Amino acid sequence: MDNIFIDKVDTYIVDLPVIRPHQLAMTTITTQAIVIAIIKDKSGRTGVSEVATIGGASYGDSTVEAIKANVDKYITPHLIDQTPIQFNKIMTTVAKHVRGNLFAKSLVETALIDLAAKQREIPAYKLFGGKIHDSLPLAWTLASGDTGQDIEEAKEMLHAKRHNIFKLKIGHGDPDANVRHVGEIIKAVGDESRVTVDINQAWDEYTALKQIRALEEMGVSMIEQPLPTWNYEGMKRLTERFGVSILADEAATSLHDTYRIIKERAGDAVALKPAKHGGILETKKIAGIAEAAGFGLYGGTMIESTVGNAIAASVYSTISEFKFGTEIFGPLLYKDKLTLEDIKVENFEIQIPDDIGFGNTLDYEKLEHYKRR
């Protein structure tokens, strides 16, 4: 049984190109930076995981460089010679010695779970509750910044039965023009789809009051993080004032952040993302308290590649309901992938992998090609 113990932990920074510029409030993505972790046991089996960040330090305080450095120096010593199936105990120990660093903790925890599942030759979701859903509704973000291009893209997705939920990133630039942009897209495809918007914290409360009124009248179904993360009181006022759902994303990071949002009603829905929460165990806790409070759930993405996307799909498959669907479309935005497998989308829904672990086989040649030197 000695061969089940952890022998080695390797991390890599990878830069993957995307198929088109992806515009957010704080940056435009042309290449996405991710961190890959490979945890190996003494028999040579590997657990593989990924976390992605958006726009370096412009989105949040976890950068790929910091994630790698902190895993290598501060977390790895707590993993060597441990048994992966004790991932809950291991991560409790890590939490006692390493403050914050939620992305780094997620990277490690998910690799442990992947390895534990592979040692038992079972799908990873069997280790954290079991699958409820075989597939989940899949949104697509229209973020080219061009109205005509976004409309054509939406029509193509509808025709291919790939997506019928569209999210528009409207935090960058003139708010009036951005809201008109939303209106044009709803006119073009609103009868066949549901439209949500993401502000990425870019508005102040005065702007939000004006623009959300217009968006609500257009029929937008959800407004994501209109105000900065610190403005709990402003989010509460918006939630009380409007009928359209106000979703907390960047503000709903840790379990404690989310508890405060729920307690103060600083929104009425939360976006789940395993990386920002610190892993699958914390994601499940957050989903539980949100469900108990009657908050809607949204299966968010950090625009992961196929590795991290499969992790998100697996954990989301074990959660009972997603009021606003999921947006784990990340691999569809990349020009290439790091695994032999790709994601499968049928009839507007992403299919949940049933293979061993998280259902991925790492392509080591691609890893070597794209890894940062």
Look at residues 112, 124, 137, 145 and name the one whose alpha carbon lies nearest to residue 41: 112
Task: Kindly tell me the burial class for residue 21, based on how many C-beta atoms sit within 10 Å of its own C-beta (0-12, 13-18, 19 or more).
Answer: exposed
DSSP code per residue over 13-72: EEEEEEEEEEE-SS-EEEEEEEEEEEEEETTS-EEEEEEEESTTTTT-S--HHHHHHHII
Q: For residue 39, give every residue at least 6 positions away whose Cβ sits within 8 Å of its Cβ, in sequence order, or none.
A: 6, 8, 9, 46, 47, 79, 84, 108, 111, 112, 114, 115
Output phi, psi for 61, to 5 deg: -95, 5
Specify whether the CB–CB gap between 311 and 299 falls below 8 A: no
349: three-class secondary structure by DSSP: strand
- 373 half-sphere exposure, CB direction, 13 A CA radius: 1
193: three-class secondary structure by DSSP: coil
Q: For residue 1, give every residue at least 6 positions away whose Cβ sits within 8 Å of its Cβ, in sequence order, or none.
A: none
Instruction: Mark 345-361 as b/e (b = at least 16 C-beta within 10 Å).
Output: beebbbbbbeebbbbbe
Catalytic center residues = 169
CA distance 85 to 138: 31
